[in-house]
Amino acid sequence: MERDGDGSALTQGANSVLGSPLRLLTGTLIFVLAVYVVSTCGFVFAGWPIGDAAYMVLLTVFSVGYGEIRPVDTLFLRWWTSATIMLGCTGMIVLTGALVQVFTLFQFRRLMGLDRMMTEIEKLDGHVIICGYGRIGVQLAKAMTEARRPFLILERDHTKAEDAKAQGFLCMVGEATHEETLKAAGIARAKVLASVLPDDAANVFITLSARNLNPGIEIIARGEAPTTENKLFHAGADRVVMPTHIGAERIVEMILYPATGDALESIGAVRRNLHDFGLDLEVVQVLPDGALTGETVGEAERRGNGAFFVVQIDRSNGQSIQHPGEDVSLEAGDKVMLVVRGSRLSAGAVFSAARAPVKHGRTFVG
């Protein structure tokens, strides 16, 4: 995602549509009214009735040319009428141009659907802003839709933005690195901002801007290079996600902990919540010669010395026992789900330690 370019032109144009033309129209109206009032007062000062004076100025300003209401036979009246013609006619020309601009731009906004989009954005409160509609942005948008969470996508690429709109997502075309774009997206009212661009520098810049515009917003930023993580935290990010690191960690988990990987496919959200409390999930399989085969759940937890506790047992015959009691026995082929405190290795050491051959000669492998 490039910082400079015309990606934000449409957004900035939408914000300025009611800016410059309306300011010009308002200023010109004030000028024309001022000329009308002052000119009328000048003719009244010259001895004209206020009705004749106002009518004379009206004819002059609008260049109707019906003729003089009263004789303009003094030097003051001639100079005053000349000034009214020059200032009044100039003001009306500018006013006409400003009206044409405003009407044209209103029609353009209506044609482009910008009015409806800006109205929907203004209604957002406590929403999520997703910066970038790439692979991660697409998944975020789908997840937010399923969760019925209000969100807005910022994307500079017109093609991607159209794809997002075709999916029914609220999307604004603009450069997320520009503060004006973030303001138009309602950054002051937003609850969360997710900067998921593939450009680390852009993510850092967006994080800085967002934190400056809304100190209370939660910022989740994406990082690619390992060195970017600290920069994002310093810039104001609350959380940093490293997709490459997570992908590698997931592959390692599949290799080293295949049972855990299979079981956690459907409970990823639960695991993320446990991480916030310093906990993790682990699934181990009881082997026929395992050290704890035939032992009870209570005995297994006592041997773990608080490092883990059993939350579910899946028997090889398809039976599932949730929240098993301490007297439930562990059988060969069982898949045991554990909530682990601290490092997975500390719990794994208990499971993988083989008992002395004189006692049982079994091993419990996770």
Range list of H helices, the chain: 9-16, 20-45, 50-61, 75-112, 114-123, 135-146, 158-166, 179-184, 200-213, 228-235, 243-256, 258-264, 268-276, 297-304, 344-352
What's the distance, Cα to Cα, between the start and end of the chain in Å? 44
Residue range 259-318, pLDDT digits in tens: 666 665 655 556 666 666 667 777 888 877 777 788 888 888 888 777 788 888 999 888
Both tokens of residue 357? Answer: 């051959």
Q: What angle do CA 300, 301, 305 make, to 5 degrees?
A: 120
Both tokens of residue 343? Answer: 């490092």
How crowded is residue 147: how many other Cβ atoms within 10 Å of its Cβ?
Answer: 9
Residues 6+ apart with CB under 8 A from 29: 95
pLDDT at position 363, please? 36
Residues 6+ apart with CB under 8 A from 85: 60
How far is residue 48 from each of residues 23, 44, 73, 350, measured CA to CA in Å? 35, 5, 13, 108
The domains found in the chain, sorted by start residue, are: 19-106 (1.10.287.70), 124-245 (3.40.50.720), 274-360 (3.30.70.1450)
What is the DSSP code (8-state) at residue 277?
T
Mean pLDDT over 343-356 rounds to 50
Q: How confident is the model at residue 14 (pLDDT cuts 50, 70, 90)?
A: very low
298 exposure class (CB count in 10 Å sphere: 0-12, 13-18, 19+): middle
pLDDT at position 300, please? 84
How far is residue 215 from each of residues 189, 210, 234, 309, measured CA to CA in Å? 11, 8, 14, 40
Residue range 18-50, pLDDT digits in tens: 457 778 888 889 999 999 999 999 989 888 999
CA distance 270 to 276: 10
Alpha-carbon torsion, ordered 281, 285, 289, 295, to 10 deg: 60
pLDDT at position 112, please? 60
**Beta-strand relationship, 335-341 and 308-314:** antiparallel
Tell me which of 178-182, 227-231, 339-343 is least confident: 339-343
Per-residue pLDDT at 228 exceeds 60: yes
pLDDT at position 340, please? 82
Cβ(5)–Cβ(172) under 8 Å? Answer: no
**Beta-strand relationship, 239-241 and 335-341:** unpaired
What is the DSSP code (8-state) at residue 328?
P
Q: Quote the mean pLDDT of the chain.
A: 80
Q: Provide the sign of the torsion angle of the four alpha carbons 154, 156, 162, 167, taken in this order.
A: negative
18 exposure class (CB count in 10 Å sphere: 0-12, 13-18, 19+): middle
Residues 6+ apart with CB under 8 A from 326: 296, 297, 298, 301
